Amino acid sequence: MVGGGIGGLSAAFALSRLGLKVRVLERAKEFGEVGAGLQIAPNCTRILDDYGLLEEAKSRGVVPDRMVMRDAVDGEELTALDLRDLEREYGFPYMVIHRSDLHALLLEACRDAGVELCTEQGVVAYGQDADKATVTTESGTVHEAAVVIAADGLHSVARTLLVDDEPVSSAYVAYRGTVAVAEVDRPIDLSEVVVYVGPRCHFVHYGLRGGALLNQVAVFQSPKALAGQEDWGTPDELDAAFAGTTDIVRQSLPHMWRDKWWRMYDRDPIDTWVQGRIALLGDAAHPPLQYMAQGAIMAIEDGWVLAEHAKRLRGPDGGIDWAATLSAYEAVRPEHCRRVLTTAREWGELWHLDGFERVQRNALLRARDIDDYSFTDWIYGPTALFPEDEPPMFEPVPLSSADRITDEPVHMTA
């Protein structure tokens, strides 16, 4: 396994449960994660439950009651999900957890399972023959195995074996920040995950670590990026982007980490993830924009699907038909992840509308039935193991239908 992030560790743990010898090669000096919160939907908590890790994950995170979408300009509530009802609908909870806490949980699980964890092992080359796959590290060390799973992220070296492409800039940038709830000088309902959607910007907040921390994310389109400047996403752009938003959002900005920010990239979907004994996993295969909150989840799903097929295709002697396993993995995961990547792009556009389109969007969201799960069934249900198990996508609702839904013309009111 190349890469010791959430995707690499979760896949390593899944394979180790089959009694396989698994080695994880991590480029950094130690295993760890940067960032802040993660949203973990039922399609992932279902897998954590299968791994026996769900209760511990819940104890380190928060299981909120509602997810609420508000307009970032006037603060009006647009729509919501009852997350307790969502749990009844899909059988597993929606939770939020600090990225480092989930990573630490998976790292502990790997250690307990006997996974070999190797640091300072930056991989620079891949190779294979009929019997094995190999990776070569920066130090010249060669590791070999029956298969190599490359979970080496957005800038994956292994991906270059399959496709000649580059990350795609969205011209959006994310600022993050966690702050002790006791230090927050405004009322906060920690039972809610809240997203404020606004013109070319949005803001998210929710509780972490049992409600002791507040996680905040501010995302905006960078004018400097659109102008082709190299120094983009700077704090002055952050302040300007949210100048027209509601007081609650603007009062939150001083709590953001202002000395670092994350430029938002994805890659175009690809159908081929496997070359012989080498396979991509996680962001190496499908780095998404963050709007669907499915990036880490897709990586965890990848590892679960891979291990389930390895278990299914294990022979009486304990050997695994890796060619068939990787083929089955590749047959189902690229299409699901393509859907998530393309929907994330579209969802981001919807969140950031301005002018009359913003008014139309708000009218449609307000008209939504809170018990309507037609837009989530395709993603929150059980992870498909075979292409025929992949549920159908939702039917998109055009903005122009706002008049029809409200039975009267939609006018500019804000």
The 10s digit of each residue's pLDDT in 216-249 is 999 999 999 999 999 999 999 999 999 999 999 9
Closest CA to 45 of 374, 388, 382, 392: 382
- How far is 378 from 375, CA to CA, in rounded Å? 7
- How far is 101 from 120, CA to CA, in rounded Å? 22
Residue position matching structure tokens 């993995």: 329
Q: What is the mean pLDDT of residues 248-258?
A: 93
Residue position matching structure tokens 């508000």: 70
Q: Please confirm, yes or no, whether 373 is among the known catalytic residues.
A: no
pLDDT at 403 (0 to 100): 78
pLDDT band at 405 (very low <50, low <70, confident <90, very high): low
Residue position matching structure tokens 């549920």: 391
pLDDT at 309 over 50: yes
Q: How far apart, in Å, are the Cα atoms of 242 and each of 72, 174, 222, 254?
A: 9, 13, 12, 12
pLDDT at 396 (0 to 100): 87
Lowest mean pLDDT among 34-43, 95-104, 167-176, 191-200: 34-43
Closest CA to 346 of 332, 359, 361, 334: 361
pLDDT at 409 over 80: no
Question: What's the chain's average pLDDT?
Answer: 95
- Show the tokens assigned to 309: 């097929």
pLDDT at 35 over 80: no
Q: What are phi and psi of 164, to 5 degrees?
A: -105, 85
pLDDT at 404 over 80: no
- How far is 395 from 201, CA to CA, in rounded Å? 26
Catalytic residue selected from 94, 175, 206, 291: 206
User: 230 burial class (0-12, 13-18, 19+ CB within 10 angstroms)?
Assistant: exposed
- How far is 149 from 265, CA to CA, in rounded Å? 22
Percent of the chain with pLDDT over 70: 98
